[in-house]
Amino acid sequence: MALIVQKYGGTSMGSPERIKNVARRVARFQAQGHQVVVVVSAMSGETNRLIALAREIQADPDPRELDVVISTGEQVAIGLLCMALKDAGLKARSYTGGQVRILTDDAFNKARILSIDEANIRADLDSGHVVVVAGFQGVDEAGNITTLGRGGSDTTGVALAAALKADECQIYTDVDGVYTTDPRIVPEARKLDTVTFEEMLEMASLGSKVLQIRSVEFAGKYKVKLRVLSSFQDEGEGTLITVEEGKKMEQPIISGIAFNRDEAKLTVLGVPDRPGVAYQVLGPIADANIDVDMIIQNVGHDGSTDFSFTVNRSEFEKAKAVLESVRQHIGAREIIGDNRICKVSAVGVGMRSHPGVASQMFRALAEEGINIQMISTSEIKISVVLDEKYLELAVRVLHKSFDLDK
Ligand code: ADP
Ligand code: ASP
Ligand code: MG
């Protein structure tokens, strides 16, 4: 007997028929003698609908109240799935995040899980129930409802698997595993049988939304066996996220191409070039709880320098406002911004032992006349910031250039 946590995403829960389908799959696992905890997302489109609704009332919705609204999608989903399970003759019980007591910090809209009280779940499992938990949500110390950021049900799934010491966490979605790039953009993309945590972490953080980044962090930290599978197929091993780097003779240099269009760039022009300036610019941005990604500071000339960085597009206006107040204080000349950019990245642990990957990437983009605005590299990834209009072309060109379709 194994304890399995299964997470079903929005598309898998997208209609009454699909919910019944999920119930049938869960029933099969239980019939094999396994204990099953199910984590579900809201039905597809529901979270977007709720966010749009909130914005019709308040252009920049109050963060606490937004979480009250957008957490409801998952509450509907757990109730419906439990009904389907009961109809199929199983014992099932639903829990919201607060009912489990998934305790988070109080960063509304992007809260982090601090602890999970798993006693009730265990008791239910021991009495033969399927336990169905709402993804994407928790409560803070004061009992406020919080949500975990878009795609957060993945993190609920992995965190529960860690807390329960589950044998496996299965992420069921609308593709049958992790691909060399998003198969919606490149139909020739190939499914990977395994991918290392390190690579998956990079791919998730660079925009491959198949897994939320925090779920991968959790799985790595707590050694959760994590697998991505299709809820629409009965066969197939999906993709296993592994600790080991492949022992294959021919380790591919690049494992995948990731991209993110939710990016925006801000530049502070004419910053006095003196010690402490980066802190003076980025300190207030961090204090406003805005995540900064790429940072570039140009070599100074005439005692001044330019300072650019990228943020999530949803935080562009907020970051710009913070910078405007910083500008006067530090005596910078001007703030400019561009929220029509994207980031495209090549990821692969094989890059460590192969120089020349960057130049191959830059050449492939140059041959298509694609201008690179910013570059950032690490041991296992190279990222470039581009005009958003080049996103799909760049992804296709790089996928081909690194032979990922072969
Ligand atoms: P769910 O609703 O099940 O959580 P998501 O839409 O969040 O599903 O994630 C699945 C989607 O991720 C796929 O439909 C696919 O378009 C996209 N995706 C992006 N990059 C990749 C990748 N490298 N491999 C597989 N899917 C990817
Ligand atoms: N329903 C939430 C979202 O759309 C959480 C999730 O799907 O994982 O972001
Ligand atoms: Mg998702």
> How many other C-beta atoms lie within 10 A of the C-beta of residue 276?
10
Q: Would the pLDDT of 346 be above 80?
A: yes
User: Mean pLDDT, to the nearest integer, of 212-221?
Assistant: 95
Q: Is 151 in the pocket of ligand 2 (CB under 6 A)?
A: yes
366, part of any domain: yes
User: Mean pLDDT, to the nearest integer, of 240-246?
Assistant: 78
- State the pLDDT at residue 224: 96
Q: Clarify whether residues 260 and 374 are in a common domain.
A: yes
CATH code of the domain covering residue 149: 3.40.1160.10
Domain boundary among 126, 142, 174: 174
Q: Which atom of ligand 2 is nearest to the CA of 156?
A: 8
- State the pLDDT at residue 251: 66
User: Mean pLDDT, to the nearest integer, of 238-267?
Assistant: 84
Which range of residues forms the domain containing residue 268?
A: 256-401
Q: Clarify whether residues 270 and 394 are in a common domain.
A: yes
- State the pLDDT at residue 161: 98
Q: Which atom of ligand 2 is nearest to the CA of 10?
A: 7
Q: Is 215 in the pocket of ligand 2 (CB under 6 A)?
A: no
Q: Clarify whether residues 128 and 271 are in a common domain.
A: no
Q: Clarify whether residues 268 and 376 are in a common domain.
A: yes
CA of 260 to the centre of ligand 3 (A): 14
Spatial CB neighbours of 334, under 8 Å, sequence gap ≥ 6 = 268, 269, 270, 327
Q: Clarify whether residues 56 and 158 are in a common domain.
A: yes
Domain boundary among 174, 208, 235: 174
CATH code of the domain covering residue 324: 3.30.2130.10
Q: Is 10 in the pocket of ligand 2 (CB under 6 A)?
A: yes
324, part of any domain: yes
Q: Is 47 in the pocket of ligand 2 (CB under 6 A)?
A: yes
* Strand 239-242 relative to strand 194-196, pairing: parallel
Query: What is the residue-averaged pLDDT of the chain?
Result: 94
314, part of any domain: yes
214, part of any domain: no
Nearest 5°: CA angle at 155, between 110 and 96?
80
CA of 198 to the centre of ligand 2 (A): 23
Tell me how many domains the chain contains. Answer: 2
- State the pLDDT at residue 249: 47
Spatial CB neighbours of 287, under 8 Å, sequence gap ≥ 6 = none
The Cα 96–Cα 391 span in angstroms is 38
| pTM (predicted TM-score) | 0.91
| pLDDT tens column, 358-406 | 999 999 999 999 999 999 999 999 999 999 999 999 999 999 999 998 8
User: Mean pLDDT, to the nearest integer, of 304-331?
Assistant: 93
192, part of any domain: no
At residue 236, the 3 state secondary structure works out as coil
Q: Which atom of ligand 1 is nearest to the CA of 9?
A: 3
170, part of any domain: yes
Q: Which atom of ligand 2 is nearest to the CA of 154?
A: 8
Q: Ligand 1: residues whose CB is within 6 Å?
A: 9-12, 41, 151, 173-175, 178-179, 181-182, 184, 208-210, 256
